[in-house]
Structure 1
Amino acid sequence: QYHAHNYFQSVFSFSGICASLAGAVITHFSFREIYDKEYLPIALKNRKSKAALVAYDRANQKYRVRQFLLYSAASIWAYSIIDSYVAANLYNALTKSQLIIEESKAFEKFGLKFDLDQDYIACNLVKQF
């Protein structure tokens, strides 16, 4: 976004990616804590017990949130790349079109003048200053 001269949008993209990654890291540590301290001790004794299943569900919820945040960060990054590519091409096209317009304004000051007579045909290039 920065290279496409979208400074304001680049701040939002960067902030969104950082927030998603920070949330994913925090959720990962929460997942590991629940899995290691709550689920594993119970699961080693009896994996099918109700307490083990409840602890597993809590850990699984944290895991799903972590995965969602990681996919969100990747999606924001991909959107930012695609959007900046399109915006850069539009910015370059706008710059080139402005240059062509300026050149055409200079060319409009030129003109051709034709004179037809019985004895001759004249073609004159006219420039206005």
Structure 2
Amino acid sequence: MKSLKLLCLPLLALSIGLAACGGKDKDPVPGGSAKKVQYKATASAGVQLYSAIYGYDQSITTVTSIGGTTWASPVIDVPASARGGTCVVGAVGANAQSTLKVEMFVNGELVKTGTSSGTALSAGTNLVF
């Protein structure tokens, strides 16, 4: 179990790195507005969520030792100047059929979903605003 967590950590870091790269060369949308963003993770039975990294631009929060099969971030007030939001959740699956789903909500509407399956789970979403 510990080796699976150690395997998932580099995957989680890589996912965040790739998500952070997206949209850096793009200008913010003219006339963009402030948003309320929330991230949610749901896993199948037997999966243990263990960490999440979420936020927008350089305002990133890390949560460890989540446990259980569900998690939700607080609703984040994202300023109009923000370029993008991202969330990656890591978990350990019970078997090859284990699943993890991460959802991104903007102003209460589901806008992105990411999924993963197997025993070393890392799912995420990102969105350029």
Q: What TM-score bracket applies, with the shorter chain setting the length?
A: under 0.3
Greater relative contact order, per chain length (Cα 8 Å cut-off, separation 6+): 2
Q: TM-score, normalised by structure 2?
A: 0.26
The answer to which structure has the higher strand fraction is 2
- When normalised by structure 1's length, the TM-score is 0.26
Bigger Rg over Cα: 1
Decide which structure has greater helix share: 1
